[in-house]
Amino acid sequence: MSTQPPFLSVLKPNPPPIWYVTNGAVTIGPVYTSLLVRGVEEGRVPEYCRVSADSGRWRRLLSVREIAARQRLYASPEAVVEALAELERPRERIRDAEELSHDATRLAMLVTRAECGMLHLRDRGARSFSTRAVLGPISTRGLSDALPEADLVVRAAYLGRPVVGPPYGPVEDALALRFAGSEGGVGGAAMLPIFLGSSLVAMLELSRPGHAFRRSDLRRAERIVQRALFDNAN
């Protein structure tokens, strides 16, 4: 029986954001996001209040993603719990790479609330990646194709660097172009290089309309794909 390699994350933790809150007459802060959300839920922070991360540029409360999330129709917490429980249940080894990739991508999309997802597996004994899953309202034209090694997103994966936007630069733009034909557009995009131990084995790519992905959700997606690929390889 093989020893499970450490599931190391390519995502580095960010310090928790802090906010200043004003009702137009009184300003309080700094406060952590969790306290701000609690104040909104308990009615102590009215919806007409404005927030700022630096007490300079004031924005609507709904610009805080954790508050906006409570106003949107996302996958229910029960569905996310069920998806994670499904990953933990004993199952027969999946010998088909497409079926494995489809299942792992579907669960990663569920926990991140992505509209579209792709999984590219690294071919054994080679540097190249082949697209094994394309999910969501987007063309499957590139399914089973190899990604060029000169691709900016692939080069970032070789370096072990995740790509998350916005903000957008050349690499983030290259990633967003993969999802340009999606139904809802690309408000947020992410690529996670998937490692088992020190070996780069896959690239997970996600997109959704609206705003960027939460890093905590991306970590959960990363772990889901790592676990699925490891379990199937042993």
pLDDT at 78: 59
Domain range for 84: 78-233
188-196 vs 163-165, strand pairing mode: antiparallel
pLDDT digits (tens, 9 = 90+) for 58-76: 888 878 877 776 555 344 5
CATH of the domain at 109: 3.30.450.40
**Pure H helices in the chain:** 33-41, 65-69, 77-88, 97-112, 152-158, 170-178, 215-233
With beta carbons less than 8 A apart as the criterion, state whether 188 and 212 touch. yes
Q: Is the residue at 207 inside a domain?
A: yes
Q: Is the residue at 12 inside a domain?
A: no
Is 133 in the same domain as 164?
A: yes
Per cent of the chain over pLDDT 90 is 36
Is 105 in the same domain as 209?
A: yes
Considering the entire predicted model, what is its pTM? 0.69
pLDDT at 132: 94
Is 229 in the same domain as 171?
A: yes
Residue bearing the bigger pLDDT, 174 or 212:
174
Average pLDDT, the chain: 83
| Mean pLDDT of the 135-153 span | 91
The position carrying tokens 């409570």 is: 70
Is 61 in the same domain as 103?
A: no
Is 60 in the same domain as 135?
A: no
pLDDT at 74: 45
pLDDT at 90: 54
**Residue 109's closest CA among 204, 186, 196?**
204
pLDDT digits (tens, 9 = 90+) for 74-114: 445 555 566 666 665 555 554 577 888 999 999 999 889 89
Q: Is the residue at 9 inside a domain?
A: no
Q: Which of 48-57, 74-83, 199-208 has the lowest mean pLDDT?
A: 74-83
Provide the domain count of the chain: 2
Q: Is the residue at 5 inside a domain?
A: no
With beta carbons less than 8 A apart as the criterion, state whether 197 and 5 touch. yes
